[in-house]
Amino acid sequence: MSHAELRHVAIILDGNRRWAKSRNLKTLDGHRKGAEVFRELSLYLFETCHIPYVTAYVFSKENWQRTEEEVSYLMKLVVKAVEKHLDEFHKKNIKVLVLGSRDGLTKPVLKAIERTEQKTAGNTGGTLSLCFNYGGKQEIVDACKRAIEDGVDPQHLTEESVSQHVYGADVPPVDLMIRTSGERRTSGFMMWRLDYAEMYFIDTYWPDMTTSLIDEALAEYSARKRRFGK
């Protein structure tokens, strides 16, 4: 399956907690299952669907408001996922980026992020971006600050100069955004890159997503006519 005009799929992995609750499981079980499904489906997008850029909303800045137990688990899950899956993604030539603020992250998490980005930096088979400790408005603010720090005159700040300083500046605009669990909003995800993205909302909780449901989303995208304001 090939989607030549579709370069960047971005996904809000929503519904892990509700999936667990519906099965009388712990919230943490939902996150664990969600991480397994994401590994499978991201590789499917790269290898079978030939999508060069895949981005996932993993942990937002607002998620710090959750219980201490859940936040702590999510932080540890990042480290565990790196230890478990980094070699596999590296062998498959996938470059992994972590987009977001580093503020407030523990040393083990920071080391895991650094190890991941360094090991996969030269890979060319696809780019997996994980939005972690991420806020869309914060990204734009940080981009403006970095542009000015790099010598851009504030009076001559342009869309292009901001684009060159957002997180993972080489990652292109989003073509298709998928959000699971029935919620129909973007929650600040990829604000700079979503302006002309096609939106696809599905009621399925993320841990129940399958390759066939991904295929349905891609088919829906292919059937739409993108106008870009024309």
Would you put residue 216 in left (φ > 0), alpha (ψ -120 to 50) or beta?
Answer: alpha
Considering 14, 16, 133, 175, which one is annotated as catalytic? 14
- Return the pLDDT at 225: 83
Has domain 8-135+173-223 been given CATH number 3.40.1180.10? yes
Residue 86 has pLDDT above 60, yes or no: yes
- Return the pLDDT at 90: 95
Work out the end-to-end distance of the chain between its first and last CA atoms, rounded to an integer number of angstroms: 29
- Return the pLDDT at 2: 46
* Domain chopping of the chain, boundaries: 8-135+173-223
- Return the pLDDT at 68: 80
Q: Dump pLDDT digits (tens) for 110-126.
A: 998 999 999 999 999 99
| Contacts made by residues 157-166, CB under 8 angstroms, sequence distance 24+ | 162/192, 163/192, 166/139, 166/140, 166/142, 166/192, 166/193
Q: pLDDT grade, residue 39 (50/70/90)?
A: very high
Contact between 175 and 8 (Cβ < 8 Å): yes
- Return the pLDDT at 21: 95
Residue 4 has pLDDT above 70, yes or no: no
Considering 16, 24, 63, 208, which one is annotated as catalytic? 63
CB-based contacts of 80, cutoff 8 Å, min separation 6: none
- Return the pLDDT at 59: 78
Per the annotation, the verdict on 24 as an active-site residue is no
Cα(154)–Cα(127) distance, rounded to whole angstroms?
31
- Joined together, the tokens standing for residue 95 give 């470059």
Contact between 168 and 130 (Cβ < 8 Å): no
Could you give the percent of the chain with pLDDT greater than 90? Answer: 73
Q: Dump pLDDT digits (tens) for 44-57.
A: 999 999 999 999 99
Q: Dump pLDDT digits (tens) for 152-167.
A: 999 999 999 999 999 9
Q: Dump pLDDT digits (tens) for 168-218.
A: 999 999 999 999 999 999 999 999 999 999 999 999 999 999 999 999 999
